[in-house]
Structure 1
Amino acid sequence: MQSQGIPFQDTGFFSNLIEDYLDQRDDLQPFYGRFPSLNAFKAQIEEKQSNFPKEHRAVVSEVLSEQYSGLQASVKTLGHIKALQDQKTFTVVTGHQLNLFTGPLYFVYKILSAVKLAQQLKEAYPDCHFVPVYWMASEDHDFEEINHFNFRGKEVRWNRGASGGVGRLDLEGLQAVFETFSADLGPGKRSDTLRNMFQSAYLEHSNLASATQYLANELFGHLGLVVLDADDARLKRLFTPHIENDLFKNLGYTTVGKSIEKLNALPGNYRIQVSPREINFFYLIEGLRNRLVAEGDGFSVVDSKIRFSETELREELRDHPERFSPNVTTRPLYQEVILPNLCYIGGGGELAYWLELKGFFEASDVPFPLLLLRNSALLMSRKQGQKLQKLNLTTADLFLDPDRLVEKRVREISELSIDFSPQKEHLIKQFKGLYDIASKTDKSFLGAVQAQEVKQLKGLERLEKRLLKAQKRKLNDEVSRVRDLQDALFPGGSLQERSRNFSEFYLDFGPELFQDLLEAFQPLDQEFSVFIF
């Protein structure tokens, strides 16, 4: 496997907020605390160790032991679960939705980033233990975002009605999905492996959370990954004081709102990712996950007949903490309260909303984790790598806007020079003489000279564009090859990892794919990786 790294900032696929974060701009520093580096983890370990209750460790270990009781967990994973009771054990967390058959490829990159960072931390701090954790978004309720994946240009979709937290959904209708996917896989040993994996996950489990946990364990359990479903009353009970602060004091709304105001005041023109609500919790019961809102002197659940007085809501929280489901504002806090976590690994959009939360964490007296942009990658076959070489393109060229890439290539291979800079310079020199004459006469003549210069320079620019267009037509075969390669590697003009599923590459490259990626990834380098297999 050949590999090359490109700085995230040079890809054109990340927001200016994330680019400025990676550049460690001074005015963004108050929004994140420590920037991820091996040295920064020393202080993070000390802070978390002194601010994480030992009682929480026992509860988390107990919950995980139960959740893994029906799985064939690896020795590494079981060891990690047990080690969480030790005050020198810390987690590295990534989170993701319960996408059907993992969904887009970056699911794999997130988890491998967490595994690799945990390994690197162990080498740097051998006296501590580091556990890679995949936090399942089992309480999410946006079924349309997770009910499909793409396979060889075809969407594989699970059609059914859904309500409530997606992790609790039964798996009705997935037999038909399996049959369709199985037929598309075709024959072969690798196809059989994927077929059996899908069948065991989705046809032999009772709900989507257990199916996803099984699948993640099958794919990454040998690496020691721990999969956590936080939809559990015991874990929610640990979070109860913070739920109260949000329900009755609107702490998330006030603190995050202030952070957003400060971000908006910065010169970066940053796009705000999420806005807090006065209450940042849903009410979660079977078949329902709807927002809690203050109403009159009490509370209600949106689009339902459920109502509470303040006293009743406090009693409900005390008796049934599992019914209070955090939204995007409070979920990160929940994670950091129940886990001895050091670092959250996420995509650009995720890190953008985490950067709004530091003030909320400070007001909640919870250490804010390091934020690490997950590894990203572009996977190319050897044949595609050869095409890239024949076209005399660099891997960095592939990240150019399609029109700019074609223009660059046409200019390089055209027998005619499509750069009219010499002509423009010659024209400017000619007008310099006219300006000398104009300086000795009235202003009206000077204005005429200026207008004529602008007109002729624009004329040269138009001719240059027409020549480029003509050469594109003449070199159409070359242009088509460039476009075809870029379209294949960037489906729909977007990153490959945002649409394609791991199964396609598993068929092409085999089970060694994950190990190769794990060895190549360097999470703290903050680079986009291009791999040729």
Structure 2
Amino acid sequence: MDNLKIPYQDLRFYSNIIKDYLDRKDEVRPFYHRFPTLHNFEAQIQEKQAEWKEAPPKRASLVEVLRDQYQSLPENEHVASNINLLSSDNTFTITTGHQLNLFTGPLYFLYKIASTINLCKKLKEAYPDRNFVPIFWMATEDHDFEEVQYFNFGDRKIVYDREAGGAVGRLDNSGLDKVYDSFETLLGNHEHAKQLKNLFKNAYLSHKNLADATRYIAHELFGQEGLVVLDADDARLKQHAIGHFEQDLLDNLAFERVNETIDAFPPEYKVQVNPREINLFYLTDEHRGRIIFKDEKYFVDGVDLAFAKAELLKELHDHPERFSPNVILRPLYQEIILPNLCYIGGGGEMAYWLELKSFFEASKVTFPILLLRNSAHLATSKELDKLSRLKLQPADLFQEEFELEEQVTRQISHINIDFEPQKRHLKNQFADLYDLAEKTEKSFKTAVAAQEQKQINGLEHLEKRLLKAQKRKLADEIERSLKLQKEWLPSGGLQERVTNFSYFYQNYGSDLIDKILEGLDPLDLRFTVIKID
């Protein structure tokens, strides 16, 4: 079969705000700038180019930092060319980002990058006189180690068990030799397994920290596509954001504007993140603590450190690398230092970006186009054959378990479990009684209505009893469908949010990356089932 597409709106895994954004509903319109269509990128390019017209130092800093960060990696002409192109005022970026999950974490790490690469290709075709560079932004300054310290290989959880504090990107790789030993025992000795072993070993045992290791992995998997990996934890980049950081410390601009936006959200939209009065952390190698203003001083949460206003501002100007933006301020920092047109992220990311437009406008920074990353399921021929034999479609497996159970029961039962014809017949019978009731007193009409509802309730009860009886009778066939659903949705969730790429790479090697790149169209806003063999 060809790759199958399923509207995100038909899947239960996506929030109301994301579904409404994809449908371009009026309720969401105030919260984004331009919708992701090829046509809309022309205006986005013009706006970003005007904003960056007087910003050659930012381009120079970006290129300098990237060249330094790539010094230890194997040379790749595609990556080197893209870094050089960033010096030109006719070059723009498309950006995605992710945490430094061990060995990339869930599969959607790859889908984010593939979406970004493929969008750059589409834009180059549409606007051949401009250049578009795919950027992977590493969330090196995050300090929640528990979120990144493991990955799932089949039903096994590979865990990097150690004490950690401060930014994860600065965390040294000590102890990962033991993780490598555990992982190695799960892999065979065939060619693709050896490639995975070498990739893990060269990444984590030959590099000093998690940032360098993650850059190496992304470079090895996608370097031929020209992917540029950026660690923005650098004083040379943060110096360009000093004015905005200072504004957050003194004026609480993000706090005010984002809260105004949240207040304007329709009640059915879940608030993804709430701003703080100050959205900066103070960052050292050992600690990342919130900056809190209290009693005319600025305190660092978790350590015995405080600054007067003048002292803090001097620290910011002398050492901008010690100031780390949180989830609210990080998107602004990204758009300050990159000539970026579009951010590609998952549903949760899109939801908090939709809180930020007013803040960007007040900061006089162009708000990027927001594009929901491609989501996908990797399906084997064996899985698809099972589906066919069970007379199911891939979309059926994304239902709740009880919904699939009922669908299969009704589908394979030789008895018609739908009592709608009987309900219609009953209503027709009561129509004559209602005609009669119109000619007598009101209480009789009420009695007729009550009797009608009682009999409809009885039919519905019988329908449920019949469905339950058929479920027992057809238990074997139903169980096969439910078993396939459990394989399709590991831990009850989307495969892409649970399974690591290595589980498939061990069988398909680099063909897996090619299949993903070929199967995903970033501007096709539907879920994709990719046949991988």
TM range (shorter): over 0.9
Residue equivalent to 1:62 = 64
Return the letter of the residue paired with 1:205: H
Residue equivalent to 1:389 = 388
Q: How far apart are the structure 1 equivalents of 2:221 and 2:411?
A: 45
Mapped contact 1:36–1:370 kept (Cα < 8 A): yes
Structure 1 counterpart SS, 2:466: helix
Q: How far apart are the structure 1 equivalents of 2:254 and 2:419?
A: 58
Residue equivalent to 1:107 = 109
Measure how far apart 1:432 and its partner are.
2.2
- Matching of residue 73 in structure 1 with residue 75 in structure 2: yes
Structure 2 counterpart SS, 1:304: coil
Residue by residue over 1:305-348, the C-alpha shift from the partner in whole angstroms, topping out at 9 and shown as x without a partner, is 10000000001001110000000000000000000000000001
Measure how far apart 1:518 and its partner are.
0.9
Residue equivalent to 2:170 = 168
Measure how far apart 1:120 and its partner are.
0.9
Return the letter of the residue paired with 2:282: Y
Measure how far apart 1:469 and its partner are.
1.0
Q: How far apart are the structure 2 equivalents of 1:371 and 1:445?
A: 61
Mapped contact 1:171–1:207 kept (Cα < 8 A): yes
Return the letter of the residue paired with 2:529: V
- Matching of residue 442 in structure 1 with residue 444 in structure 2: no
Measure how far apart 1:521 and its partner are.
1.3
Structure 2 counterpart SS, 1:163: coil
Identify which range, 448-457 or 235-244, moves more after superposition. Answer: 448-457
Q: Trace 1:40-439 onto structure 2 (pairs within 5 A).
A: 40-52=40-52, 53-263=55-265, 266=266, 269-439=268-438
Structure 2 counterpart SS, 1:368: coil
Mapped contact 1:73–1:217 kept (Cα < 8 A): no
Q: How far apart are the structure 2 equivalents of 1:176 and 1:204?
A: 14
Which consecutive residues of structure 1, in runs of 5 or more, have no partner in the other structure? Answer: none
Mapped contact 2:519–2:530 kept (Cα < 8 A): no
Return the letter of the residue paired with 2:415: L
Mapped contact 2:192–2:508 kept (Cα < 8 A): no
Q: How far apart are the structure 2 equivalents of 1:381 and 1:518?
A: 17
Q: How far apart are the structure 2 equivalents of 1:60 and 1:297?
A: 36
Residue by residue over 1:370-429, the C-alpha shift from the partner in whole angstroms, topping out at 9 and shown as x without a partner, is 000000101111011111111111222222222112211211211111011111112222
Return the letter of the residue paired with 1:34: R
Q: How far apart are the structure 2 equivalents of 1:504 and 1:431?
A: 61
Return the letter of the residue paired with 1:25: K
Residue equivalent to 2:459 = 460
Q: How far apart are the structure 2 equivalents of 1:230 and 1:325?
A: 10
Residue equivalent to 1:23 = 23
Measure how far apart 1:59 and its partner are.
0.2
Structure 2 counterpart SS, 1:409: helix
Residue by residue over 1:227-273, the C-alpha shift from the partner in whole angstroms, topping out at 9 and shown as x without a partner, is 0000001111111000001001111111111111111xx3x610010
Q: How far apart are the structure 1 equivalents of 2:14 and 2:283?
A: 34
Q: How far apart are the structure 1 equivalents of 2:436 and 2:340?
A: 74
Residue equivalent to 1:509 = 508
Mapped contact 1:191–1:507 kept (Cα < 8 A): yes
Measure how far apart 1:468 and its partner are.
0.7
Residue by residue over 1:443-493, the C-alpha shift from the partner in whole angstroms, topping out at 9 and shown as x without a partner, is 333332222211111111111011111111111111011111111111122
Structure 2 counterpart SS, 1:276: coil
Q: Trace 1:469-480 onto structure 2 (pairs within 5 A).
A: 469-480=468-479
Structure 1 counterpart SS, 2:134: strand
Cα RMSD of the aligned pairs, angstroms, is 1.1
Identify which range, 4-13 or 46-55, moves more after superposition. Answer: 4-13
Q: How far apart are the structure 1 equivalents of 2:326 and 2:438?
A: 69
Residue by residue over 1:155-185, the C-alpha shift from the partner in whole angstroms, topping out at 9 and shown as x without a partner, is 1111111110000111122111111110011
Structure 2 counterpart SS, 1:523: coil
Q: How far apart are the structure 2 equivalents of 1:279 and 1:131?
A: 32
Paired residues in the alignment total 530
Structure 1 counterpart SS, 2:503: helix
Q: How far apart are the structure 1 equivalents of 2:334 and 2:168?
A: 18
Measure how far apart 1:12 and its partner are.
2.1
Q: How far apart are the structure 2 equivalents of 1:506 and 1:165?
A: 30
Residue equivalent to 2:531 = 532
Identify which range, 401-410 or 275-284, moves more after superposition. Answer: 401-410
Residue equivalent to 2:13 = 13
Q: How far apart are the structure 1 equivalents of 2:70 and 2:530?
A: 34
Q: How far apart are the structure 2 equivalents of 1:245 and 1:209?
A: 29
Return the letter of the residue paired with 1:371: L
Which consecutive residues of structure 2, in runs of 5 or more, have no partner in the other structure? Answer: none
Mapped contact 1:73–1:221 kept (Cα < 8 A): no
Measure how far apart 1:434 and its partner are.
2.5
Structure 1 counterpart SS, 2:529: strand
Return the letter of the residue paired with 2:65: V
Mapped contact 2:101–2:147 kept (Cα < 8 A): yes
Measure how far apart 1:8 and its partner are.
1.4
Return the letter of the residue paired with 1:38: L
Q: Percent identity?
A: 54
Measure how far apart 1:27 and its partner are.
3.3
Q: How far apart are the structure 2 equivalents of 1:303 and 1:274?
A: 22
Q: How far apart are the structure 2 equivalents of 1:202 and 1:155?
A: 18
Residue by residue over 1:80-122, the C-alpha shift from the partner in whole angstroms, topping out at 9 and shown as x without a partner, is 1111000001100000000000000000000000000011111
Mapped contact 2:168–2:210 kept (Cα < 8 A): yes
Measure how far apart 1:151 and its partner are.
0.5
Mapped contact 2:8–2:527 kept (Cα < 8 A): yes
Structure 2 counterpart SS, 1:525: coil
Q: How far apart are the structure 1 equivalents of 2:47 and 2:422?
A: 64
Return the letter of the residue paired with 1:290: G
TM-score by length of 2: 0.98
Residue by residue over 1:38-77, the C-alpha shift from the partner in whole angstroms, topping out at 9 and shown as x without a partner, is 1111111111111011110000000000000010131000
Return the letter of the residue paired with 1:4: L
Structure 2 counterpart SS, 1:436: helix
Return the letter of the residue paired with 1:40: N
Q: How far apart are the structure 2 equivalents of 1:248 and 1:509?
A: 54
Mapped contact 2:299–2:305 kept (Cα < 8 A): yes
Measure how far apart 1:219 and its partner are.
0.9
Measure how far apart 1:441 and its partner are.
3.5
Q: How far apart are the structure 1 equivalents of 2:259 and 2:445?
A: 56
Q: How far apart are the structure 2 equivalents of 1:378 and 1:73?
A: 33
Mapped contact 1:93–1:343 kept (Cα < 8 A): yes
Measure how far apart 1:277 and its partner are.
0.4
Structure 1 counterpart SS, 2:3: strand
TM-score by length of 1: 0.98
Q: How far apart are the structure 2 equivalents of 1:432 and 1:27?
A: 43
Structure 2 counterpart SS, 1:18: helix
Structure 2 counterpart SS, 1:294: strand
Structure 2 counterpart SS, 1:524: coil
Residue equivalent to 2:34 = 34
Q: How far apart are the structure 1 equivalents of 2:13 and 2:79?
A: 35
Q: How far apart are the structure 1 equivalents of 2:327 and 2:84?
A: 29
Return the letter of the residue paired with 2:287: L
Q: How far apart are the structure 1 equivalents of 2:22 and 2:337?
A: 28
Q: How far apart are the structure 2 equivalents of 1:497 and 1:370?
A: 24
Q: How far apart are the structure 1 equivalents of 2:34 and 2:239?
A: 29
